[in-house]
């Protein structure tokens, strides 16, 4: 119950799916949570549910693709809770397409949210972690960051790049006791799946050893481990949470 006691954690994309499950699990484990989302109502709903359950949380209206929003999110966190110990770069979007069908705008938006968002949030959080003597950043990549998948050129490019970002952040800030790791989920039962064709979803589940999608809480447990001091010697690492999909 107290694996994150009194830690201050920002979770982006906390209004839905994995971000929501992570924010709630962190609060259950004693963290003070900032639920950030471009959909402010959903972020507020997550924060309200945490508070109603006896936890501590605030919501911010944040587009992680906009530097000013990320800076404000971190400022609001420090103003309310004094510091930032944990950042979960979770916000993400998915638009399917090939090099021929994906538009430039779709490519750019996925990169702004999935990749630049993780860069910007880290940029504004790290000085506070340095001042506090350390911290943990967890970036949500995907199995799409380690394999190719049909009609996923833009999404997979961002998720591969997130792994590069994680490794460089881990290296640059290891001396500051800031650990940075990536979680690579397989299929998770969240609203994001509405953007995947029924055929590809079926194929994905058929190619998963466990033959099912994850409940978001099953992936949030790995995020919790990496965010917590239990993972004190783990940095620059990838954690596949994919029901065996990439192992067969």
Does 40 qualify as catalytic in the annotation?
Answer: no
Select from 146, 147, 193, 237 the one that contacts ligand NAD (CB under 6 A).
Answer: 193
Tell me the C-alpha distance between 85 and 7, whole Å.
6
Regarding 54 and contact with ligand NAD (CB under 6 A), the answer is no
Tell me the C-alpha distance between 3 and 130, whole Å.
21
Select from 29, 34, 35, 92 the one that contacts ligand NAD (CB under 6 A).
Answer: 92
Tell me the C-alpha distance between 145 and 7, whole Å.
29
Give kind and range of the element (H or E) at residue 222. helix 216-227
Regarding 125 and contact with ligand NAD (CB under 6 A), the answer is no
Q: What angle do CA 54, 118, 137 make, to 5 degrees?
A: 55
Do 35 and 62 meet the contact criterion of CB atoms below 8 Å apart? no
Do 179 and 230 meet the contact criterion of CB atoms below 8 Å apart? no
Tell me the C-alpha distance between 92 and 100, whole Å.
22
Regarding 46 and contact with ligand NAD (CB under 6 A), the answer is no
Regarding 29 and contact with ligand NAD (CB under 6 A), the answer is no
Regarding 60 and contact with ligand NAD (CB under 6 A), the answer is no
Taking the least distance from each CB to ligand NAD, the nearer of 151 and 177 is: 151
Span of 74-82, 124-132, 186-194, 229-237 interacting with ligand NAD by CB under 6 A:
186-194
Taking the least distance from each CB to ligand NAD, the nearer of 3 and 217 is: 217
**Annotated catalytic residue within 26, 155, 173, 239:** 155
Any bridge partners for residue 137, and if so which?
87, 180
Tell me the C-alpha distance between 26 and 219, whole Å.
13
Regarding 190 and contact with ligand NAD (CB under 6 A), the answer is yes
Select from 113, 137, 152, 153 the one that contacts ligand NAD (CB under 6 A).
Answer: 113
**Which residues are known catalytic residues?**
155
Chain positions contacting ligand NAD, by CB under 6 A: 12-13, 15-19, 37-39, 42, 62-65, 90-93, 113, 140, 142, 185, 187-188, 190-193
């Amino acid at each position: 119950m107290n694996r994150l006691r009194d830690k201050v954690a920002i979770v982006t994309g906390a209004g839905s799916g994995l971000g929501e499950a992570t924010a709630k699990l962190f609060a259950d484990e004693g963290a003070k949570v900032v639920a950030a989302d471009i959909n402010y109502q959903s972020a507020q709903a997550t924060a309200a549910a945490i508070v109603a359950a006896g936890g501590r949380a605030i919501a911010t209206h944040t587009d992680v693709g906009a530097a000013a929003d990320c800076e404000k999110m971190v400022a609001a966190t420090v103003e309310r809770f004094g510091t930032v110990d944990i950042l979960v770069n979770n916000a993400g979007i998915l638009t399917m397409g090939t090099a021929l069908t994906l538009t430039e705008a779709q490519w750019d938006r996925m990169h702004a949210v999935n990749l630049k968002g993780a860069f910007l949030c880290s940029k504004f959080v790290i000085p506070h972690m340095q001042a506090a003597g350390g911290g943990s950043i967890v970036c949500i990549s995907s199995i799409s960051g380690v394999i190719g998948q049909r009609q996923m050129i833009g999404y997979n490019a961002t998720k591969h790049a997130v792994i590069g970002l994680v490794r460089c952040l881990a290296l640059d800030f290891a001396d500051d006791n800031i650990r940075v790791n990536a979680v690579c989920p397989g299929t998770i039962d969240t609203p994001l799946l509405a953007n995947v064709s029924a055929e590809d979803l079926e194929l994905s589940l058929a190619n998963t050893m466990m033959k099912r999608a994850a409940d978001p809480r099953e992936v949030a447990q790995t995020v919790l481990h990496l965010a917590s001091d239990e993972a004190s010697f783990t940095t620059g690492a990838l954690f596949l949470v994919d029901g065996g999909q990439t192992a067969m």
